Amino acid sequence: MEILQINPAEWSENVELFSRNNFFQGHKWLGLVADEFRLKNYFLKIKEGDSESFFSLQVKGRDAYSSFIGYGGIVSLQNYSDIFDRLIPLLEKSLNIKVRRIKLFPGVEIKESKGWKQENSSILRIDHGWDERIEKRTRNSLKQALKEGLVVKKMSLTDLDEFYEVYTQTAERVGSTYKTPKTFFEKLLNFTEIFFIGAYKDKHIVAASIFMKSNEWAYYWWNASSAEGLKTNANYLILLEAINSFEKQGVKFLDMASSNNSGISNFKAQWGAKNVPFWVFEA
């Protein structure tokens, strides 16, 4: 096995060929994350016999991730179910790093080995009649939200301060010890394939969600609600607006991410989302 460093242009060319739906593998996203969190990006070509695969790493100090935020893994048409047992030690030796996490795209299978575990992400299939799978209690929540006089629309940079206040309230309410920097959200607002959708009551943000899009896949990644947003079921209207918009754009799947409690998991299931396993390596 031979590992070669390549430039972002060659990386992008092969991501477009083999992994067009994985937003988090795009070099623009990887560059933005590296810049904000002071990471070093490695774009790598892996040659083994007649086959070529591609792999990205984001490194901080000696700790390496694929990817730091979102899904990573091998980009290739080849079956790479058994490559990591050989690849990880070679990467660590040749780059003088320690691979801490690799998070594979949902549905990608590998052979289970030391350090790997399966988790689940809630995936909503956006096909004709998808809304018929919405459960009754979610329909009732939508009806209640519609009576609150909320305005749901795409956010702009002028909304950043108010959004971040709601985001901070949410982090404190759920006991999160980490808050994403406001500077990072500012950069996301300027990213073409990232959408901030807010719910406004009396012209003030009461809830907001952040979505990414890559070809036939979209991702539901950040969410924030004030007390008023929770009271008015604002997130229900935001999600409905996003899904309807993605359906018009030809998106087939919405990845609603993992859930850290049963309440969040049930919320996603009520929209018709199904659990799809993905593999994670952690060391």
Flag whether the pTM goes above 0.85.
Answer: yes
> Mind listing the domains of the chain with CATH numbers?
2-114 (3.40.630.30), 123-275 (3.40.630.30)
Distance CA 174, CA 267 (A): 16
**DSSP states of 86-110:** HHHHHHHHHHT-EEEEEEBPTT---
Give me the tens of pLDDT residue by residue for the chain, a chain 283 residues long.
899 999 999 999 988 888 889 999 999 999 999 999 999 999 999 998 888 899 999 999 999 999 999 999 998 877 676 789 889 999 999 999 999 999 999 988 887 678 999 999 999 999 999 999 999 999 999 999 999 999 999 999 999 999 999 999 999 998 888 899 999 999 999 999 999 999 999 999 999 999 999 999 999 989 999 999 999 999 999 999 999 999 999 999 999 999 888 888 899 999 999 999 999 999 9
